[in-house]
Amino acid sequence: MFIAVVPLATGLVRGLDVLQTFIVFSALLAFFVGAILLVYRVSLWTALFCATAGYTLQNIASGLTILTQMLITGRASAALSEPLASIVAVGVPALVYLLGYIFFARSVALNGLLNVENRLMLSMFAIVVIVVIGFDLIIKGLTFVGIPFNYLLLLRCVHPLVCVFVLFAEYELLYAKHAEDERVETERLLAERERQYRLSRENIEAINIKCHDIRHQIRHLADGGAAVDRSVLSDIAREINVYDSVVETGNEALDTILTEKSLACSGEGIVLTVMADGSALDFMTPADVYALFGNALDNAIEAVRGVDDEERRTITLSVRRLKRMVAVSVENYYSGVTRFSDDGLPITSKRDRSNHGFGVRSMRAIAERYGGSLHAGVQDGVFYLNVLLAMPETSAST
């Protein structure tokens, strides 16, 4: 749109003075904003970003084309002969737009643009109007005044640099907004995990208290203090089954999440087998341990729920040291078909893929943050998830 409309508008403003031309191009930029809002379902801030970024990139292409012509002819306003004129008119903008795509447009995902809500975009709109458009018109005015060629050449060199600076400033605003959104989301997730962690610890402490009381009840019954009531025995058996779900691995955070998931599995007829050296995870923060294993086991439980064969309703988890690495493995049966994306991560079968896919991506992010990796796959009806974590020097030596 910018490539076609701006050159057309340039032809229409011939004969107008500088102020009139400035008003026309400013109105044209505002028209671009309105057109984007009309055609696409985006916010005003996103439309401002797209319009100003595209307009600035077009000005870079136009300015460099004129600069190339000046360098070839050695004059401020001299037409090139064919076919050189066509080569410059097409080649320079094509190169600029290609570089713009590589360094700017390609790095911005569509979903990223949908969340642009930075009011500083209004300031960028004003900067583009005043600096990009105004500066270009001043240079064109000085060309007709008869300013020395060297000064004019310098101004023509400065104008694209100013445009590039404006473009970088716009994208910096975008990346700053993305970084802020990621920080807020990370803090929210960590706060939620910490809340679950505290609640789980309280539940385990309550279980310990109940089991302490059960021991006294058993002693009382053994001493013949009262007749044995069948309901009392049932309550005791139920409490003991709950206590059997408590997992002790040597890492408090891992114990908490495994106990929580063990209780959940027990209630759904799923056997969770754990072989874990929890002390190997002491270098990880409790929140990361909770997030990594919580997501992994939630996905495994979700998959096993769809398995009808009782003998296959099992989940196996292991945590072991491999020299200076920690290997985490989760295996479970599943039903249906498991598909994988291009980056090797399983594709969720749920409709809300953006939210449910975040769990696996967050696990990979945690693994990479600790210098490791995450791999998933299927073999003979078994889904496996393997995570490698690099141990720090101090942890590896102990």
For 213-261, write each residue's pLDDT tens digit. Answer: 767 777 776 666 555 556 655 665 665 555 556 677 888 888 888 888 8
Same domain, 254 and 179: no
* 241 found inside a domain: no
Distance between CA atoms of 197 and 212, rounded to whole angstroms? 23
Same domain membership, residue 375 and residue 283: yes
**Regarding beta strands 271-276 and 314-322, do their DSSP bridges make them parallel or antiparallel, or are they unpaired?**
parallel
For 69, the domain range is: 2-188
Q: pLDDT digits over 260-302, tens only?
A: 888 888 888 899 999 999 999 999 988 788 889 999 999 999 9
Q: Which residue, 170, 188, 206, sits at the end of a domain? A: 188
In a domain, 210, yes or no: no
Contact 6, 26 (CB under 8 A): no
- Of all residues in the chain, what percent carry a pLDDT higher than 70? 72
Q: How many CB atoms lie within 10 A of CB 209?
A: 10
* Same domain for 271 and 172: no
Task: Please count the other Cβ atoms lying within 10 Å of the Cβ belonging to residue 86.
Answer: 10
156/77 Cα distance (integer angstroms): 12
Q: What is the dihedral of CA 274, 275, 277, 283, to 10 degrees?
A: -50
- Residue 222, in any domain of the structure: no
Tell whether 52 and 155 lie within a shared domain.
yes
The pLDDT assigned to 356 comes to 38
pTM of the model: 0.48
Q: Which of 188, 203, 226 is the last residue of a domain?
A: 188
Structural domain includes residue 226 = no
Name residue, tokens 């500066």: 135
Q: Could you tell me if residue 218 is inside a domain?
A: no
Question: Checking DSSP bridges between strand 325-333 and strand 373-379, what pairing results, if any?
Answer: unpaired
Q: Is residue 25 part of a domain?
A: yes
| Shared domain check, 275 and 171 | no
The domain boundary residue, chosen from 172, 188, 204: 188
CATH code for the domain in which residue 370 is found: 3.30.565.10
Residues 172 and 299 in one domain: no
Longest dimension (CA), the chain: 116
DSSP strands (E only) in the chain: 271-276, 314-322, 325-333, 373-379, 382-390
pLDDT one-digit tens code per residue, 127-153? 777 778 787 778 877 777 778 888 888
| 128 DSSP assignment | I
- Look up residue 132 and give its DSSP letter: I
Note whether 356 and 368 are within 8 A (CB).
Answer: no
Q: How many domains does the chain have?
A: 2
Pick from 46, 59, 179: which is nearest to 121 by CA?
46
Assigned domain for 340 exists: yes
pLDDT 10s digits, 16-71: 666 777 787 788 888 888 888 888 777 787 788 888 888 888 888 988 888 888 88
- 149 and 279 share a domain? no
Task: Tell me if 231 is assigned to some domain.
Answer: no
